[in-house]
Amino acid sequence: MSVRVRRVYEPPESADGVRVLVDRLWPRGVSKEAARVDEWPKGMTPSNELRRWYHAGEGSYEEFARRYEAELAAPQAAELLDHLRSLARAGAVTLVTAAKAPEVSHAAVLARLLD
């Protein structure tokens, strides 16, 4: 399995494999052509409440990750997560995000769950 996380603002690479946008909103200033996103599973992104809570600085990354994993247990999100697992088993998958610090974002949580 090969799963990696990259910012959507970085140019796509041939090693990216399937590019999956893991943000709820389309990234500002990036065209669909430039992003070269293959899939956009909005149903597995963090809820607006959780996203706002985390970005407001009210909790730690560890607590955010725990809460996000709980959200991913919901049926629709779990189904989408299983789909990403099957993609990762078949080849390279790159989770793309607009997050300024992807290593402490929901994308990092997803990558850990997929590995």
Q: What is the pLDDT along the chain (115 residues), one digit of tens a residue?
A: 689 999 999 999 999 999 999 999 999 999 999 999 999 999 999 999 999 999 898 889 999 999 999 999 999 999 999 999 999 999 999 999 999 999 999 999 999 999 8
Please give the radius of gyration of the chain, using alpha carbons only, rounded to the nearest integer. 13
Parallel/antiparallel/unpaired status of strands 92-97 and 2-7: parallel
Could you tell me the two tokens for 108?
Answer: 């990092």
pLDDT of residue 115: 84
Q: Which residues contact 53 (CB under 8 A, 6 or more apart)?
A: 59, 64, 67
Q: Give yes or no for a contact between 40 and 20, defined as CB atoms under 8 angstroms apart.
A: yes
Per the document, the length of the chain is 115
Supply the pLDDT for residue 2: 84
- Position 1 scores a pLDDT of 64
HEC profile of 42-104: HHHCCCHHHHHHHHCCCCCHHHHHHHHHHHCCCHHHHHHHHHHHHHHHHCEEEEEECCCCHHH
| Domain boundaries of the chain, sorted by first residue | 2-114
Single pTM value for the model:
0.93
